A and B are shown apart, each in its own frame.
Chain A
Amino acid sequence: MDRRNFLKTAVSIGAATLPFKELRAEEKGEKKEFYAVLVDTTRCIGCRSCEVACSEEHNLYIPDIEKDNALEIVRTTSEKQWTIVNRFETDKGQIFVKRQCMHCWQPACTAACLTNAMYKTKDGPVTWNGDKCMGCRYCMVSCPFDIPKFEYFDWNPKIQKCNMCFERLQQGKKPACVEACPTDALMFGMKRELLEIARHRVYNYPEKYVHKIYGEYEVGGTSWLYLSAVPFEQIGFRTDLGTTPYPEYTKEFLISVPLVLFAIPAFLLGLNLLTDRKKELSEKEGWKNE
């Protein structure tokens, strides 16, 4: 076979395999579609029904939303409450923002967990398993949103974070907070569909929304998506987190580990043999004697 023929065959074989690969990739993507929630902050009225519903569902501390004036300060989720609503004063008036775990596509916390206690289920929710967790809190160090919370005042502490009502989803129900929302500020569905809806709103009402869906690309994409009337940094979001999935940052190091494990011992052994001065001397002697 001459060179031209060889190239022709090679190219055509390559071309023939290409569409197959694409097809398979598409199939894979289809299966991996995740549940998601779209939060439209322009619709949120700050009633905090979601906070109560969440705490009731998961037997956590139930806030007294009538009296506790919790909106006066900007809060974070805690080991007692998996979700909270914050109020922000902006040039477009008061904006209420519900916060909880973002359920990343490639979560830093699950990559950090050395016992697989932090685990992303195939439907998307990131859950925690107390039988495996050893309480090292590396998930807390790694999470870019500072979501996992630790019970510091318990002899048998748990990591507390939103699990997207994983058990309810299995029963075909919506997450408790979504069901409790009276204004449709929260919408539950498949991520792809929700992205369509979000884009539709942003395109059709450019005066109402900023041209961004928070969570579409952040840290590689998250299951919780946010729409806003003002730039996201004004309502408590970090916009400097990048679009790289966080596990990528440790990937290079982890890939180098098996290489080092094989290459370095061989190198050291070689060095050890090379520096064998005694053997060298005795060989020299032998050569002289001959």
Chain B
Amino acid sequence: MNNTVVITGEFKRFIKFFRNELNPRGKWLTPFNVISIPIILLGIAILYVRFTQGLGSVTNLSQQFPWGFWIGFDVVTGVAFAGGAYVITFVVYVMRIEKYHSIVRVTVLNGLLAYIFYAGALVLDLGRPWHIVNPIIGNSFGFNSVLFLVSWHFLLYMIAEFVEFSPVIAEWAHWEKVRKFVSALTLGAVIFGITLSMLHQSGLGALFLMAKPKIHPLWYSEFIPLLFFVSSIFAGLSMIIFEGTISHKVFKNLIGEKSHYSYEEIILGLGKGAAITMFVYYFFQSLIFIHEERWTLINDFWGYWYLFEVIGFVLIPCFIFAYAVRNRSFGLIRIASVISLIGIILNRLNVSVIAFNWNAVNKYYPSWQEIIVTLMVIFSEIWVFRWIVVRMPVFSKTK
């Protein structure tokens, strides 16, 4: 009896608190709002057309190109960018390197939101999304499907990341007991999350293993899963650097001076990690290149395009990272992170869209609606991210 009273009382308090938190803070007419609001509204209108008249009414998808920009960029690239969360939780909770503790919360939040929005964008691409629960509950388990594995891992990983982030929510809502309880779950969630990440980052690559006759041989190899996994590590690290740079400008008042100083050391460490994993990735690419005697394929457009990606957007940023870390040049680290992010976009789009059915007569290009909806997804994610970091103790432990 007493317990129920306490719980309902607490519940009422929280609802009031939550309502209060829903109110906007800060100015309304910021440049970001002015750009993002019309695009989000336009995106919603496009989605209305898409769900009433079919995918073909707004996308350039065809029978030859069943997967386009929404899968290739939103899902496949977006998930690679979200790789930072499992890398950082590994470093901090498993390897116990405390230096990176201050960026764990924001990285996990970024990872969680990226999965909710970018993996969630998958729903927009499904022809019959109301059957999305079929592989999860019911009797329709396609055990031998890579996509079955990937979808389960998306779901489980989102839960794991939510558990990792929940102490922040509990702190924000002043639930001390809940915070203690969920904090105790962190290590378990982290270990589970890293395992799931390894499997579904590589799984996204394994999706394309059966498309062997369709993908250009320079991008197809039996090692796609390994390449996707290794590249997700430096994709994640570069994303943390890139995103951190922006956050430190936009949310300057939320981040204290002291953490600003150690932040430079963090950036250097991340840059180092990126340089090493990029070199490993480049090494794997070279091994595959030699093993499959790919030099016979190098002397045409696709060959140059391949070299452009692997040398221009892997090897060069790898060297820039290494040079910048040695010389403590933060500007160069940021430039290198942007180049490697573009490299990841190139690589994922090459495998899933550009070098897919490379010899097709009618090539696929995303329609403007596809791009608007993608922007809508990105902007909505930033909106939620901003809402959370302004209210919850994401950058600092105590409010």
A135 to B141, alpha carbons, bound, how many Å?
Answer: 15
Residue A236 interfacial (CB < 8 Å): no
With beta carbons under 8 angstroms apart, the residue of B135, B191, B199 that contacts A269 is B191
For A242, what are the chain B residues with a Cβ–Cβ distance below 8 Å?
212
Residue B52 interfacial (CB < 8 Å): yes
Cβ of A115 and Cβ of B140 under 8 Å apart? yes
Query: Contacts A115-B142, A135-B129, A247-B144 given: A153-B134 contact, CB under 8 Å?
Result: no
Choose the segment among A14-22, A84-92, A253-261 that binds chain B (4+ C-beta atoms closer than 8 Å).
A253-261
For B66, what are the chain A residues with a Cβ–Cβ distance below 8 Å?
137, 140-141, 150
Residue B113 interfacial (CB < 8 Å): no
Residue A108 interfacial (CB < 8 Å): yes
Choose the segment among A26-34, A37-45, A154-162, A207-215 that binds chain B (4+ C-beta atoms closer than 8 Å).
A154-162
With beta carbons under 8 angstroms apart, the residue of A79, A137, A153, A247 that contacts B67 is A137
Cβ of A156 and Cβ of B128 under 8 Å apart? yes
Query: Contacts A134-B129, A152-B55 given: A141-B210 contact, CB under 8 Å?
Result: yes
Cβ of B210 and Cβ of A135 under 8 Å apart? no
Total number of A residues with any Cβ neighbor in B under 8 Å: 58
- Closest Cβ of chain A to B18, distance in Å, is 34
For A234, what are the chain B residues with a Cβ–Cβ distance below 8 Å?
none
With beta carbons under 8 angstroms apart, the residue of B96, B147, B194 that contacts A112 is B147
A131 to B222, alpha carbons, bound, how many Å?
Answer: 33
Residue B183 interfacial (CB < 8 Å): no
Q: Which DSSP category, helix, strand, loop or mixed, fits chain A's interface?
A: loop
For A135, what are the chain B residues with a Cβ–Cβ distance below 8 Å?
126-129, 131
- Closest Cβ of chain A to B243, distance in Å, is 25
Choose the segment among A54-62, A181-189, A272-280 that binds chain B (4+ C-beta atoms closer than 8 Å).
A272-280
- Closest Cβ of chain B to A241, distance in Å, is 6
- Closest Cβ of chain B to A31, distance in Å, is 21
- Closest Cβ of chain B to A261, distance in Å, is 6
- Closest Cβ of chain B to A273, distance in Å, is 10
Give B192-206 interface residues, CB cut-off 8 Å to A. 192, 194-195, 198-199, 202-203, 206
Q: Which DSSP category, helix, strand, loop or mixed, fits chain B's interface?
A: helix
For B59, what are the chain A residues with a Cβ–Cβ distance below 8 Å?
152
Cβ of B212 and Cβ of A249 under 8 Å apart? yes
For B211, what are the chain A residues with a Cβ–Cβ distance below 8 Å?
141-142
A242 to B54, alpha carbons, bound, how many Å?
Answer: 36
Interface size class of B (residues with CB under 8 A): 35 or more
With beta carbons under 8 angstroms apart, the residue of A153, A247, A257, A272 that contacts B187 is A272
A238 to B147, alpha carbons, bound, how many Å?
Answer: 26
- Closest Cβ of chain A to B261, distance in Å, is 23
- Closest Cβ of chain B to A289, distance in Å, is 24
Residue B225 interfacial (CB < 8 Å): yes
With beta carbons under 8 angstroms apart, the residue of A130, A142, A277 that contacts B96 is A277
With beta carbons under 8 angstroms apart, the residue of B54, B128, B210, B222 that contacts A134 is B128
- Closest Cβ of chain A to B353, distance in Å, is 11
- Closest Cβ of chain B to A180, distance in Å, is 25
Residue A103 interfacial (CB < 8 Å): no
For B146, what are the chain A residues with a Cβ–Cβ distance below 8 Å?
112, 250, 253-254
A246 to B140, alpha carbons, bound, how many Å?
Answer: 21
A252 to B225, alpha carbons, bound, how many Å?
Answer: 11
Residue B94 interfacial (CB < 8 Å): yes
- Closest Cβ of chain A to B22, distance in Å, is 33
Cβ of A275 and Cβ of B128 under 8 Å apart? no
Residue B46 interfacial (CB < 8 Å): no
A97 to B126, alpha carbons, bound, how many Å?
Answer: 34
Q: Which partner residue on chain B sits nearest A78 by CB separation?
A: B63
Q: Which partner residue on chain A sits nearest B142 by CB separation?
A: A114
A264 to B131, alpha carbons, bound, how many Å?
Answer: 32
A238 to B359, alpha carbons, bound, how many Å?
Answer: 13
With beta carbons under 8 angstroms apart, the residue of A131, A133, A140, A275 that contacts B95 is A275
A135 to B134, alpha carbons, bound, how many Å?
Answer: 12
Residue B323 interfacial (CB < 8 Å): no
- Nearest 6 A/B pairs, CB to CB: A135-B127, A152-B56, A114-B148, A137-B66, A140-B66, A135-B128
Residues of chain A touching chain B, judged by Cβ–Cβ distance below 8 Å, are 76, 78-79, 108, 110-117, 130-138, 140-142, 144, 146, 149-157, 238, 240-242, 246-247, 249-250, 252-254, 257, 260-261, 264-265, 268-269, 271-272, 275-277
